[in-house]
Copies of this chain bind each other. A is one copy, B any other.
Amino acid sequence: MSKKLTQRSQDYSKWYNEIVTKADLAENSGVRGMMVIKPYGYAIWEKMQAELDRMFKETGHENAYFPLLIPKSYFSKEASHVDGFAKECAVVTHYRLKEGENGEGIVVDESAKLEEELIIRPTSETIIWDSYRKWIQSYRDLPLLINQWANVVRWEMRTRLFLRTAEFLWQEGHTAHATKEEAVEEALKMHGVYADFAQNFMAMPVIKGYKSESERFAGALDTYTIEALMQDGKALQAGTSHFLGQNFAKAFDVKYVSNEGKQEYVWATSWGVSTRLMGALIMTHSDDNGLVLPPKLAPIQVAIVPIYKTDEQYEAISARVEEMVKELRAKGISVKYDNRKTHKPGWKFAEYELKGVPTRIAIGPRDLENGTVELARRDTLSKEIVSQEGISDTISNLLEEIQDNLFKKAIDYRNDHITEVNNFDDFKEVLENKGGFISAHWDGTTETEDAIKNQTKATIRCIPLETKEEEGICVFSGKKSNKRVLFAKAY
């Protein structure tokens, strides 16, 4: 398979699909809309998981596991929730197959029909709150701070690898609190954790805000979001945290006895990020040569390629490299010495470039003589000759520099693509020609939001948390508005 990618300027969408498959991240399976996450892609996801899991535990959360299948009746208990998810549910109706009678092969055994259909979880609020009723009696049982790592299924009609798949992997936090204030605080805290993770590990700048009513999670009173900007000017919702009020507590009758002996409904939050973050990561940093990974999430941080003609040279280089590998590993740097004889150095260089390995060392006979190596960095594609001495410090510093540089580059691009507009003509013009976030006044009504969406495909990505009050008029309706919100076309 050729390693050359379609250029982004030519066809961004095609470029994305090629990078996902050619860099061995994921591929489509034989099941419509469901992907296979390949080992290299999964290794990146594992690094994301490890950091997020650590952050969740540091903020007091524990992991647990709830059933994959949800009885239809549970699912229907919260009205707006079922409205939001019913259209994309995978439904289990039978529990047995059998040999068909007319040699037609294996068929569903109609005698094994479930009395009540089971839904593959699209999200787990209902099955989890059914358990919480048993777990929560008194204020002493609160707060209950639980997270689950799981697969979920949403029968999306149009799917794209990582960005929108019928099955995806995610984590879903589900917490229960004694007071409204504590629940809101929790939702905002996890919103902050997501922003922290996106910026400090993914090197992906995000805008923190909350959703308009029509963009909220089905069953939430408030949805907090982190919104990122991709290189093609489209926004991507990277994580959400929901304040659920008492909706699920009421639907599942979850009450606690307060310190004062009164029966009260519990307050709830839920929050999640998914393998969609893989798509966001790819589209934030990568270039026409392939994937670009921030060092903190790269499964391989430095690849070492030997350059040699004779076996003798190979042995001498390998001996030196083994020492370097030890030194690098001792510093916690993940290193791969690629000594495969089946592939040429040029092929390997292209491979590591395509796979976004942050740094690459090439070492040949002359380097051995001079005590040097050739050190290449993936983000700028530049190379330099550096001393073998102190190589672990050199790499360690360079990895930090690359992490910082990627974030800086991304935030510069993002900041250049937030445009204030004050009338609908400018709105459409900027949306079509420049893209990115459009900061505009909005009258606060769903009608206006829908009308703008219908005419332009742009949606309100968020109402930024850090926004200044400002008198203005809605770009669409001309009605009064007191702050700007961010519009964009979105993934």
Contact = CB atoms under 8 A, between A and B. Distances in A.
Interface stretch (A116-124, A218-226, A314-322): A116-124
A167 B68 contact: yes
Given A34-B68, A66-B36, A67-B36, A88 B93 contact: no
Contact of A127 (B29, B117, B120, B155): B29
A105 B86 contact: no
Contact of A69 (B36, B106, B118, B167): B167
B63 A30 contact: no
Most buried by B among A27, A82, A97, A169: A97
A46 interface: yes
B86 A108 contact: no
Contacts of A74: 30
A97 B119 contact: yes
Most buried by B among A67, A89, A93, A167: A67
B36 A62 contact: no
Interface of A: 27, 29-31, 34-39, 42-43, 45-46, 62-72, 74-76, 82, 86-99, 105-106, 108, 117-120, 127, 130-131, 134, 140, 146, 150-151, 153, 155, 167, 169, 342
Contacts of A82: 97, 106
Nearest to A34: B67
A236 B34 CA distance: 35
A87 to B, nearest CB: 6
A34 B169 contact: no
A31 B118 contact: yes
Contact of A87 (B63, B97, B117, B140): B97
B29 A131 contact: yes
- Counting every copy of the chain, the complex holds 2
A67 B106 contact: no
Contacts of A88: 95-96
A36 B64 CA distance: 8
Contacts of A37: 64-65
A153 B68 CA distance: 9
A70 B106 contact: no
Contacts of A97: 72, 75, 82, 86-87, 89, 91, 119
Given A31-B69, A91-B94, A153-B68, A76 B106 contact: yes
Contacts of A92: 90-93, 120
Contacts of A75: 97, 106
A91 B108 contact: yes
A86 B96 contact: yes
A284 to B, nearest CB: 22
Contacts of A66: 29, 36
A86 B34 CA distance: 22
Given A31-B118, A75-B106, A87-B97, 10 more contacts: A30-B74, A31-B67, A38-B64, A65-B169, A69-B167, A75-B97, A89-B97, A91-B108, A93-B93, A96-B155
A96 B43 CA distance: 33
A90 B34 CA distance: 18
A78 to B, nearest CB: 12
A52 to B, nearest CB: 14
Contacts of A65: 36-37, 42, 45, 169
A95 B90 contact: yes
Contacts of A99: 86
Contacts of A106: 72, 75-76, 82, 86
A252 to B, nearest CB: 11
Contacts of A134: 27
Given A67-B34, A167-B69, A108 B98 contact: no
A393 to B, nearest CB: 26
Contacts of A151: 68, 150-151
A104 to B, nearest CB: 11
Contacts of A167: 67-69
A338 B174 CA distance: 24
21 contacts: A29-B66, A29-B131, A34-B68, A39-B146, A42-B63, A72-B97, A72-B106, A75-B97, A82-B106, A86-B99, A87-B97, A87-B98, A90-B95, A91-B92, A91-B97, A92-B92, A96-B155, A97-B119, A108-B117, A120-B120, A140-B342
